[in-house]
Amino acid sequence: MELIQRIAFYFPAIFLTTFIIAAPFETFLHYKVQTKRFEEFTRYSFFHKNKEEAVFDFSGNTLSGKMVSLSNHSVYMITEHSGGESGGFYHLTFVYKDLKDHKLKHYTFSDISGYASIEVVDINADKKKELVIDSDRGYQKSFIYKNQTIALTPAAYQGEKGVYKDVYVFEKGSLRKAVKDKEYASYYEKQFQKTEETLRKLKGKVFQSGKGQADAFLIEVIQYLSYMTDYNRYNSAMENIKKSEIRIQANEAYLLYEVLIEKENK
């Protein structure tokens, strides 16, 4: 340690560009994974257990890297984050072993909102884990009144999130959105029932459009309508929203039901 301090004192520029923190090796399938954190990026190197030359390297502004079981596949999930306004974005890279040629390959899933939560969980208790991400549906919605555009929900998360999530499974070296798969119908059905209960409790309530806590509820309702449509239940969803008699207050109070069918009020 004393030697490192002396080097840093006499050659500070060299020290900053060459100094790294190397984590212990992890085991991933039949490979060893070494993580090296540099000043501005992190490198993940994958080695055959008994060889010194890396067979795959990945570098980036990463937050974490870990082995996970996804749809019964062992994959190494690396999470990156790029800065920017409105929370920036997450990028996920999955390193996996191709079962045909037995080589390591990778797949990147990008542009996930920086406000979204990302989980690997068994969403439907079938002993297989899925990737679950907050839904990006329901944002930047508006309606027209006398040729005036009135915002209903914000353009981005901005701290407000609906309650619906997208389910992804890992297949053939990539992610597939599995919202409509019958295996997850019961998961979505539970959320439909929760939203419908909320609609009944809030019957007749008036919400200010684009105002704080109202945003999260309105996003939830729009997501409810969208996911119910995925399950061919659009008419049922709209009927439940109509029965709620919920109104949106802008220049006047408009029935949410009419706003969502994009009817121009005159």
The pTM assigned to this predicted structure is 0.84
pLDDT of residue 2: 38
pLDDT of residue 14: 38
Tokens of 112: 């996930």
How do beta strands 62-70 and 54-60 pair? Answer: unpaired
pLDDT tens string for the chain (266 positions)?
433 333 333 334 333 344 567 667 888 988 999 999 888 889 999 998 888 889 999 988 888 899 999 999 999 999 998 876 667 889 999 999 988 888 899 999 988 888 889 999 999 999 999 999 999 999 888 888 777 788 888 887 766 788 999 999 999 899 999 999 999 999 999 999 999 999 999 999 999 877 777 888 999 999 999 999 999 999 999 999 999 999 998 888 889 998 898 644 44
Contact 88, 82 (CB under 8 A): yes
Half-sphere CA count of 6, side-chain side, radius 13 A? 3
Which sign, positive or negative, has the C-alpha torsion 193, 197, 198, 200?
positive
pLDDT of residue 5: 37
Contact 207, 246 (CB under 8 A): yes
pLDDT of residue 84: 65
pLDDT of residue 50: 80
Separation between Cα atoms, residue 66 and residue 40, nearest integer Å: 20
Instruction: List Cα–Cα distances, 54 to 23, 104, 133, in angstroms.
Output: 16, 11, 32
Residue spans of alpha helices (H) in 28-145: none
Tokens of 236: 């049922």
Which residue type, as a one-letter code, is found at position 186?
S
DSSP 141: -
pLDDT of residue 95: 94
Q: Which is nearest to 33 in space by CA: 20, 50, 47?
A: 47
Contact 62, 80 (CB under 8 A): yes
In this structure, what are the phi and psi dihedrals at residue 12, rounded to the nearest 5 degrees? -60, -40
Other CB atoms within a 10 A radius of the CB of residue 168 amount to 21
Separation between Cα atoms, residue 73 and residue 128, nearest integer Å: 9
Separation between Cα atoms, residue 70 and residue 97, nearest integer Å: 13
